[in-house]
A and B are shown apart, each in its own frame.
Chain A
Amino acid sequence: SQTIHQWPATLVQPVGSPLSLECTVEGTSNPNLYWYRQAAGRGLQLLFYSVGIGQISSEVPQNLSASRPQDRQFILSSKKLLLSDSGFYLCASEDRGKNYGYTFGSGTRLTVV
């Protein structure tokens, strides 16, 4: 089974600072990878997904970006954080072509101050 490592668990960053959240996956190869965000009391918002190295699809235009430098590594970045970037960020993975459902990481709580 898959295991997703996400770090850090908690992050407090000033407005205008850069961001880098990392997600790595164990127990599978060639997964589909996803970044979701949950605002307080809200549902899940898909930000980015990737079906392969270097292949990134953006769902919501914003000041965030994603990269997939290795097969099982997915990075969420920003050059300048906004207050509205605060939220709970979740990385997810799914075996490509299997549709068995996502495996989620434990999330990163980002507070922009």
Chain B
Amino acid sequence: AQSVTQPDIHITVSEGASLELRCNYSYGATPYLFWYVQSPGQGLQLLLKYFSGDTLVQGIKGFEAEFKRSQSSFNLRKPSVHWSDAAEYFCAVGARGTYKYIFGTGTRLKVLA
């Protein structure tokens, strides 16, 4: 079955600390992988995407993610978190030619000053 799992519902980090949000997927085809961020009351914004090639992808706002095929993971990282990063983060998976992406249930990030 195709699925995306974000094991952490809530994560709290201190400002300036590093961050890693986990995403595991199950997908039959070669996956296209995405991370989105949603600020309260807003729509989702695409942070980064992976299609193929270099398994470490850079995104906006200083985020990066690493695709690990052997672990079926696509974890999101940031070396130093800012208070403005407090939001909800969604991982999604699809494939070339698909109409629909499968979204994880999200991880809510809280940043302590």
Contact = CB atoms under 8 A, between A and B. Distances in A.
Given A100-B49, A104-B43, A104-B45, A44 B103 contact: yes
B104 A102 contact: no
Contact of A102 (B46, B51, B95): B46
Chain B interface residue bracket vs A? 20 to 34
B63 interface: no
Nearest to B48: A101
Interface residues of A, number: 25
A99 B44 CA distance: 16
Contacts of A103: 46
Contact of B100 (A6, A46, A100): A46
A104 B44 contact: yes
Interface of B: 32, 34, 36, 41-46, 49, 51, 90, 92, 94-101, 103-106
